[in-house]
Structure formats: C-alpha cells, structure tokens
Structure 1
Amino acid sequence: MDTRNLIIVALDCDTRATAQRIVDQLGDECRFYKVGLELLTVAGPDFVEHLVAQGKEVFLDLKLFEIPNSVAGAVRAAGSLGVSMVTVHGMGGLGIMAAAVDAARAFPGLRILALTVVTSMTDEDLTDIGIAGSTEEQVLRLARLAGKAGCHGLIASPRDVAALRNALGPHPLIVTPGVTLPGDSPAEHARPGTPRAAVAAGASHLVVGRTVTRAADPAAAFRLVRSSLVQ
C-alpha cells in the first residue's frame, strides 16, 4: 500500500501564495489536500480547480449545515469543481445529509463525509449546547445516522476510530483530523492522536496540518509522517 494515498495535507492558509508555496514544496510527495473555509474564502474556487488540474485530490471541508436545498446546491457546486470529498454536519440531521448524498450522485467520484463531533470539542462543550452524554456517545449516534442517510464516510477524531470500526464495520471511510507526530503540539484539538495509532485503529485517511505545513522542510516532514505508519 502506498501510504501517500492515506495522508491529506490541510492547507489551512490565509493566502493563496502561502498555500501554493506548500504545494510546490511538497511536489509529488503529496497527492491529497484539504481546502477549508479560510483558504476557500481568500483564494476562491479557482484554486481548488487549479489543484485538481495538477492531478491532486481535494477534500473540500465545508462542514455544510443549512437547509437541505442549499446543502444540495453546495454539493453540486463542489462536484463541478472536481473535488473528491466534501463534508456535511452530522448534527444537521438526516434530511440534510440525505440531500447531500442525493446531490452527489451526479458526480461518481464525489464522496460525502459526515462530521460527527469537532475534534476541539469536549464533553463539557456538548453539555453547553444541551447534548447529554459523552463525545464518544455522540460520535456513534451521529455516525449511525450518517449511515442511514447513505453517507460514504465520517469525520472523527483519532480516538474515536476504533469504536466506529467496531460498531460500523470495515466499509465507511473514516477521515481523522487532529493527527500529529509524537511530541508535536495538538494545537486546538482536544482529542488528538498519532498517524500510526489512527491507522492501526482503522482510519482510512489522515488529515495532517501544521506538522507538515509549518515545518522548515514540509517534504521531509511529510516523509516522516509516512515512515511513522510503517515503523
């Protein structure tokens, strides 16, 4: 297995020039990039099309949470850009997720991923918004709902992967943000994990951000993440 296919580098950048510099530094090492709201806002959809034209896969992390018709429209727009993955909020409910899945049918390569619980959230944060139970319980609840809606996979923290695999089996994609090498700062992620632990638990893809993008040599850092998966 080529471990490059597992790793998605998060281009959480505030300018297009910064993002492009990282892409240039990584070259052929990286095949998959995440574009979130910050970069999409400053660089626009043209940059997404630019990445796709270079042969890169793009995970468009929109975290869609709107009325079903608006979500469907956004998914169709994402599909027309040629992206491989787009996210919808699991907390939006069955109707929103199902609308996203239905809109994606026109784009055979597009996969809808349901965000379960943001990796920065804790049990206390859930309590603040009126949700009883732990983050682990909420992750499983939303994951099962996403399955009913037909979502292709889930976004969940590295610490949630094992429970999800045990509950849902081998088929759903599980994409894990909050992945850092041992000793690196987890930043705002409350439930982080290492690349090797996430893959061992059953993650299909790893989202790696500052560990690579803020390294002095991003390509060397990317290779270090790859090597950690097989050691």
Structure 2
Amino acid sequence: MPGRSSIMPVISFNSVDSALSSLKTCQVSINTGIEVTTDVALALTEHEGGSEEVSNMEDLMLNYVSMDRELEQFIQAVDDVTNQIKQERPERMPDLKALVDKRFNELKNLNNFEDLLKSDKFIHFKGQLKEMKKQVGAEPHNESTSANELDEDIAVTQSQRNFICPITQREMECPVKNKVCGHSYEEEAIIKIIQNKHKQKKKARCPVVGCDNGDVNQNDLSADTTLRRAIENHKKYQMR
C-alpha cells in the first residue's frame, strides 16, 4: 500500500466556481449599463443635446469600460491562481485571497488610460456617436416645413434599404454589425448561420452579396444601436 505521504489532498474549488459565477453575473449588469449609456448618448446627439451632456456620457462609458476591464482581470487572477494550485497540488490549502490579490494587482499595474480609449467597447461607442452625428448633421435646419418633410421622405426612402436584413429580407429588429466588414444583419439570423456552419466544421461567409469576408464569427458582432434607433425612428415616421 502507498505510504501516507504519497496521498495528495483533494482541494475542492466548488466555492471558487460559485464565486466566479456570481462575478460573471456582474458583467451582465455592466453590459446593461453600457447599453443604457449608449442609448442616452445617442438620444442626446440625435436631439442636439449640449456637448457637455454628451461628454458626461463619454466619461460614464469610460467608467463602465474600466469596471469591465478590472472585473475581467479579477476573474483572470482567480483562474490563474486556481490553475496553478491544481497543477502544483500543495499539501495544505494556501491563502487563496492573498494569492488572488497579488495576481490581480500585477494585472492592474499594467493598466493605463490609453488602453481604455482603445478598447473595443469604447471604440464601438464612439463610432455609433459619430454615425449619429452624421445623420443629424445631414438634416436641413433652415428650410420651410414642407421642404423639410420632402427631404425627410427622400432620406427615408434612401435609407430604408439599409433596414432590410440580407438574410431574412425583412426589416431588422435587433441588428448587429460585423466589425470586420461593416455589414449588419438580424442577430438571430446571422448567429444561426454561424452555428450551423460551425457544426459542419465550416466557416460562415458574410451573406452580403459581393462581400469577401469568408469567416464570420460571433465575436465579430456587436449591437448596432445606431441602426436600431434609425429603424425605430423610421417606424414612428410611418405611423405619422
């Protein structure tokens, strides 16, 4: 029989896994905050809100992006420490909190403000604001009501084709934008295509005719809030 010293203790990480699950629910709350902040910033821009108000939304977005980054780093710190312990299999349970805090601080020390400005979520936010500013800037302000209505009709007709999903051929309700090629699709439709192709161990091509993007992944997709607002405004205009 093997000696007592050869029997390694079994360390349970159930509580750690439970804590990680709770932390990941916090990410949902942060993402909700990002979506709400984006909607408010776009609404302010659309209705020509003051630059200070929009700037406040940008600062708030940076705070959310910072929280998201630190939460990701804390989760990574926990993963790094638990993986290290599982590999080394120590004889007694180490001080997990101290080890995680040490690893978390190492990761945080690599942070800088410029990284926040270059993060995908903040760049996406600024891109949507830029698109909304273009839309607002293209609208006439000094013409008669009838001329405005005529221009509005033309603008709606020209942009309406962009509201149609290239997959379903119906007006989109939850559009997502592909950050690789810039095309937008109905979220459910494009995800279904990606999943079906991956089951066949194939790459999903962008369904837009003429697009050379031959490898569409879910990680490439992000909510196209600007387009969604344009579609909603178009529906309101039709009701009028």
Q: Point out the structure with the larger helix share.
A: 2
Asked which structure has the greater RCO (Cα within 8 Å, sep 6+), the reply is 1
TM over 0.5: same fold?
Answer: no
Which entry has the higher C-alpha Rg, 1 or 2?
2
In the superposition, the TM-score normalised over structure 2's length comes to 0.23
Judging by fraction of residues, say which structure has more strand: 1
